[in-house]
Amino acid sequence: MAEKNYPRHVAIIMDGNGRWAKRKHLPRAMGHRQGGEAVRRAVQAAETLELECLTLYAFSSENWKREESEISDLMGLMRRFIEANLKDMIERGVRLKLIGDYKAFAPDIVTKLEDALERTKDGTRTLAVALNYGSQQELARAAGLAALEGEVTPETIEKHLYTADLPPLDLLIRTSGEVRLSNFLLWQAAYAEMLFVDVLWPDFGEDHLREACEEFARRERRYGGR
């Protein structure tokens, strides 16, 4: 049953893997691994809550500044995530969508990602994953493409955003208690509700997503009107 006034499109800045690991005196890689489990839970919860689209910030264009070993841990996680979850995504009707310049990743990951895009293309719900994504870069690219076509307006920019085929963003969540957007969906967040939750990403589960949707349903959106 569709819940009344639940968001159609929720995006999450998954923050706090490192702090989760530190609190438990574990290596950062363990935090990311548990973060990967939280991704799996969130995708399932999105299905239970009947969200049309869940967008996750998995790797920002600024994340290349992290230590090589951490980048390599994250890439390994990405490979394993696709291998372990692709079949399930196809069966559950989840369409993978990528936002960002994912082609900068290692060729074997790009191949896996493109295979997953192809094999999930008939899915009816969307999991959008931001990979090598930066919102300012996305906007500069979209404005450039719009200019090439002759006219730069909000509509022509929007048409060239990676998210052009997704429903409007309703709710943006950031975990871990940090209160900033970190170059994520700046344009798309113009009228989105925002929620900053004090839970580290590896601890985030279905109940947190449900509570966030309920909080969204309680808020009144006016889109600049009265």
Token pair listed for 172: 């943006």
88 vs 194: CA distance, rounded Å: 30
> Of residues 15, 73, 138, 193, which one binds ligand FPP by CB under 6 A?
15
Torsion of CA 45, 193, 65, 107, to 10 degrees: 50
Contact 107, 158 (CB under 8 A): no
- Reading the block at residue 211, the tokens are 């509570």
User: Which residues carry out catalysis?
Assistant: 15, 63
Rounded to whole angstroms, the maximal C-alpha distance in the chain is 55
- Alpha-carbon distance of 42 to 56, in angstroms, equals 10
Asked if residue 17 binds ligand FPP (CB under 6 A), the reply is yes
Closer of 103 and 219 to ligand FPP (Cβ):
103
Out of 7, 36, 100, 134, the residue judged to bind ligand FPP by CB under 6 A: 36
Q: Which one of 7, 16, 100, 134 is in contact with ligand FPP (CB under 6 A)?
A: 16
105 belongs to the binding site for ligand FPP (CB under 6 A):
no
- Based on the shown chain and the rule CB under 6 A, indicate whether residue 77 belongs to the binding site for ligand FPP: yes
129 binds ligand FPP (CB under 6 A): yes
73 in contact with ligand FPP (CB under 6 A): no
Provide φ and ψ at 32, rounded to 5°.
-65, -40
204 lines the binding site for ligand FPP (CB under 6 A): no
145 three-class SS: helix
DSSP letters along 162-176, please?
TTTTSPPP-EEEE-T
- Is the Cβ of residue 123 or residue 158 nearer to ligand FPP in the bound state? 123
Interface residue with ligand FPP, options 19, 41, 92, 125 (CB under 6 A): 19
Chain positions contacting ligand FPP, by CB under 6 A:
14-19, 32, 35-36, 39, 56, 58, 63, 77-78, 81, 129, 201
